[in-house]
């Protein structure tokens, strides 16, 4: 792999950029691999990368039914934060956030991580109590957050209207080292590093069946033939239930579309990430000047990736009340991403009833921020059979009543 650097860019400029090679190979699938990862999104690619980097397992295939990063990795609002209430949630998200800080150097690929800070607005007395509680919990967990009052909110976010007619701003939970990254670049950086280790990234290769013998996985059937393996990792976001059904077991998840949109490009208005959970809208500004806005999930199960008109009205009406300056900005485009939701709104990183099959799913509306931590923990689980970061997120918790109810505890699961 040719390393990227300022010197490499200057050298290629003199050669009219004719010396750049492919970022990753496009091989034909082999008959057998030690590990197959189904899903070439951020979580799947990160899992493969840390399998190679941390455990030396490089005879790995990453199978993708479409194109690399074409699922939820390319259809999200890029928020990165770790100020969760539950200890297990804070641990894995803080691991992810800390890995994001050095990810560009680690992968030799600019993922455009921007630690601009994330402010979660408190607009009811209940939210004030909840966020103060989270700030105390984060202090015990070693996660740097703080409760700030309305005056500090106005300093961080000059365009805000503190005295909204329905929901005045009473303060907020501020995490200064939270931020955003470029979603495509995260997937491309991991893919390039995996390919350089000798792993095979096989696109346009849909899994149509899971082969088993004696209760153990032996491989998968795909649109490009049968491929054998010793271990199989399922990392397919909203389609986790479909793939689990092929393997002969069920998952306690449901799939819904999460709505998002971006505005036309405008001059800089906001240099942090802001989340208003009472009115359910969150916003940041991209490097191109677009306001990146997220809303809620559809109220019915579906696999659609289309926008939903009532979410435009609901989300923007709420945000305009809090940020009147955006009222005349035009919408540029809207989309939906398929997310899988567990009953406690926390992820599943677990062994399954089929020996050799592991599942990573249920990240709901907060999957992008978890990518490096998720990959780190899931790789350890697949390589060693257990991981401290993944232990609390096993499937057993649903039968044992060990719920990690982050959405109820923190008021939001984004």
CB 350 within 8 A of CB 334: no
What is the pLDDT, as a whole number, of residue 409?
46
pLDDT band at 285 (very low <50, low <70, confident <90, very high): very high
| pLDDT bucket at 165, cuts 50 / 70 / 90 | confident
pLDDT at 408 over 60: no
Q: Give the residue with greater pLDDT, 34 vs 318.
A: 34
- In the chain, the percentage of residues whose pLDDT exceeds 70 is 98
Say whether pLDDT at 336 is over 90: no
| pLDDT score, position 97 | 98
Average pLDDT over residues 211-235: 97
Determine the Cα angle at 252 with ends 399 and 220, to 5°.
110
pLDDT given at position 314 = 82
| pTM of the complete model | 0.95
Can you tell me the distance from the alpha carbon of 409 to that of 399, in angstroms, rounded to the nearest whole number? 21
Q: What is the mean pLDDT of residues 116-121?
A: 96
Q: Which of the four pLDDT bands, split at 50, 70 and 90, describes residue 123?
A: very high
292-305 pLDDT, tens digit per residue, is 999 888 888 888 87
Q: What is the pLDDT of residue 411?
A: 45
The distance in angstroms from the start CA to the end CA of the chain is 36
Domains of the chain, start order: 26-82+84-104+182-252+344-410 (3.50.50.60), 118-178+255-341 (3.30.9.10)
Arithmetic mean of pLDDT, 228-247: 95
**Mean pLDDT estimate for the chain:** 93
State the average pLDDT over residues 362-387.
Answer: 96
Q: Is the pLDDT of residue 414 over 80?
A: no
Question: Is residue 413 over pLDDT 50?
Answer: no
């Amino acid at each position: 792999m040719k390393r990227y650097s300022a010197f490499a860019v200057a050298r290629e400029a003199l050669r009219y950029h004719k010396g750049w090679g492919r970022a990753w190979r496009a091989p034909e699938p082999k008959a057998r691999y030690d590990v197959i990862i189904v899903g070439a999104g951020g979580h799947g690619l990160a899992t493969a990368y840390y399998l190679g980097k941390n455990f030396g397992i490089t005879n790995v295939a990453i199978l993708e039914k479409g194109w690399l990063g074409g699922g939820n990795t390319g259809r999200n609002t890029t928020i990165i934060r770790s100020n969760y209430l539950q200890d297990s949630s804070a641990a894995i998200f803080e691991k992810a956030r800390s890995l994001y800080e050095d990810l560009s150097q680690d992968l030799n690929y600019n993922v455009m991580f921007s630690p601009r800070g994330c402010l979660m607005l408190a607009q009811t007395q209940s939210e004030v109590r909840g966020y103060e509680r989270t700030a105390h919990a984060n202090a015990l967990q070693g996660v740097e957050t703080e409760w700030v009052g309305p005056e500090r909110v106005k300093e961080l976010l000059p365009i805000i209207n503190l005295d909204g007619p329905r929901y005045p701003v009473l303060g907020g939970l501020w995490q200064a080292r939270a931020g955003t990254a470029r979603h495509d670049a995260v997937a491309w950086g991991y893919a390039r590093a995996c390919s350089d280790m000798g792993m095979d990234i096989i696109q346009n290769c849909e899994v149509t069946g899971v082969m088993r013998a004696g209760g153990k996985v032996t491989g998968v059937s795909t649109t490009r033939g049968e491929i054998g393996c010793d271990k199989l990792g399922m990392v397919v976001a909203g389609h986790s239930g479909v793939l689990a059904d092929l393997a002969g077991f069920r998952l306690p998840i449901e799939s819904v579309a999460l709505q998002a949109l971006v505005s036309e490009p405008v001059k800089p208005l906001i240099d942090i990430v802001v989340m208003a959970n009472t009115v359910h809208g969150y916003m940041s500004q991209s490097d191109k000047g677009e306001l990146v806005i997220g809303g809620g999930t559809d109220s019915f199960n579906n696999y659609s990736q289309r926008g939903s008109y009532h979410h435009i009205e609901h989300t923007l009406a709420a945000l305009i009340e809090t940020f009147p300056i955006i009222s005349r900005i035009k919408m540029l485009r809207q989309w939906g991403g398929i997310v899988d939701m567990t009953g406690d709104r926390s992820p599943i990183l677990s062994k399954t009833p089929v020996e050799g099959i592991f599942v990573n799913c249920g990240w709901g509306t907060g999957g992008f921020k978890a990518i490096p931590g998720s990959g780190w923990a899931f790789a350890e689980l697949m390589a060693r059979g257990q991981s401290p970061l993944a232990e609390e997120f096993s499937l057993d918790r649903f039968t044992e009543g060990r719920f990690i109810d982050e959405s109820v505890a923190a008021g939001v699961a984004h």
